[in-house]
Amino acid sequence: MTVRTRFAPSPTGYLHVGGARTALFSWLYARKHGGKFILRIEDTDLERSTAESVNAILEGMTWLGLEYDEGPFYQTQRFPRYQEVITQLLNEGKAYRCNCSKERLEKLREEQMARKDKPRYDGHCRHLNVDPHEPHVVRFVNPQDGVVHIDDMVRGKVTIQNSELDDLIIRRSDGSPTYNLSVVVDDLDMAITHVIRGDDHLNNTPRQINILRALGAEPPRYGHVPMILGDDGARLSKRHGAVSVMQYREEGYLPEALLNYLVRLGWSHGDQEVFSLDEMIELFDITDVNKAASAFNTDKLLWLNQHYIKTDEPARIAHLLSPHMGELDIDPSEGADLVDVVRAQQERAKTLVEMAEISAFFYKDFTEFDPDAAKKNLRPVAEEPLRKVRDALEALPEWTPEAIHQTIQDTADAMELKMGKVAQPLRVAVTGRAASPGIDVTLHLTGKAACLRRIDMALDYIRRRAAD
């Protein structure tokens, strides 16, 4: 048997992290077992589904690197097939037309609630001959006796009494198929062998199994993954911060960091925290996923992101960093080589946004110094060391890190100062802040003209400050 899994989002919004984790688990299961991963867009909700949401889902999948082997398939393009199956069920007596009014159904629900019964349809139209030309829905004839056994890959054995289920609607009064019908037909036609999805779908599973069996099909194996919670124990939502996959890209996260973090939400392999994609495929097993919900921890994600920024190839980080530089109105081709900048900053940033912000000074002048850094380092006592090192730097025939370092050291020695008494005011003068990579690398990448120009600005700042 060839393993075939699917990810089937509804295009009513962005690709959120819960959906991305489900997609990852399904993708890993298929890859581990030499199977196929299918992408299906469940767009039957015509009022809420949008092309923008479809694009957001596809963009998110591409950014994460979760390539699909078949699809994307769109349910709206399969309506004739759903109607064919509905007609088959009607002809076989496994479905029936129902013309119960909204008022009758509301009254039925109220009576059941008053008796503290579980609200459900009472089968009123099951044996009636409803005219197909009058307004109606089509309901599935759910078995009234027996049980549905689910051998869930995450939750274990789950048993549902058929008496707890009612005759669900499979075609609405407007002729459109419902979710449970279209999902069943798709899983059947696409030969899906394993369905990995959120546990909010667990209530649908026995209904879908009964429809599949009514069609003479063997149901796939199911695995229902628990939800993701925020740090406060509530279901993850926008108020906890970013929940859209693409928002994480905008905030400067690497796709491999997010994938690594998501795979660890509810699954573990000993004490290992960092997993390459190959290791995920080799080690991940859906049966090892916890039954309990997992809490999202942004600090852990940041730690992983910093790890990947530190250890990835500088050229790749530069490629991913470039758009974030553009957000700061910086053209990285005009100035220091961005790969060299990444090498200098890899140990210093947790996100690409942070790396862009602390690297902006390499490419453009700033208008003011960090107040705390200036107050501490750009004092009158720093004026003479800054002026002397500026003149020495201007006289350098070659602008190399080695020559810059030696010039700063010579200036400090000549003035009988410690290196830091020259280097730190110089750092603040050139970068506008108290922290940067090594002073020789910082000045080299900033460029001679910009360094001299900014030192002059710092000297003017010191003189104005002394005059106040």
Q: Which of 429, 436, 438 is nearest to 456 (CA)?
A: 429
Burial degree of 155 (CB within 10 A; 0-12, 13-18, 19+) = middle
Q: DSSP assignment of 171-222, as one string?
A: E-TTSPBPHHHHHHHHHHHTT--EEEEEGGGTTTHHHHHHHHHHTT-PPPEE
Contact in structure between 427 and 442 (CB atoms under 8 Å): yes
Report d(CA 453, CA 450) in Å as an integer.
5
Q: What are phi and psi of 27, to 5 degrees?
A: -65, -45
Pairing state between β 228-229 and 147-152? unpaired
Q: Give the containing element (helix H, strand E) for 5.
A: strand 4-7
Q: Which amino acid is at 20?
A: A
Report d(CA 165, CA 429) in Å as an integer.
73
Pairing state between β 194-198 and 221-225? parallel
Residues 6+ apart with CB under 8 A from 227: 18, 198, 199, 200, 235, 236, 293
Burial degree of 134 (CB within 10 A; 0-12, 13-18, 19+) = exposed
* Residue tagged active-site, from 107, 118, 238, 364: 238
Report the Cα–Cα distance between both ends of the chain, in Å, rounded: 83
Classify residue 50 by its DSSP letter. -
* Helix 51-64 with 17-32: angle, nearest 10 deg: 50
- Among this protein's residues, is 238 annotated catalytic? yes
Residue 140: strand, helix, or coil: strand
Report d(CA 369, CA 389) in Å as an integer.
19
Q: How far is CA 361 from the centre of its chain?
A: 30
Which residues are part of the catalytic machinery?
Answer: 238
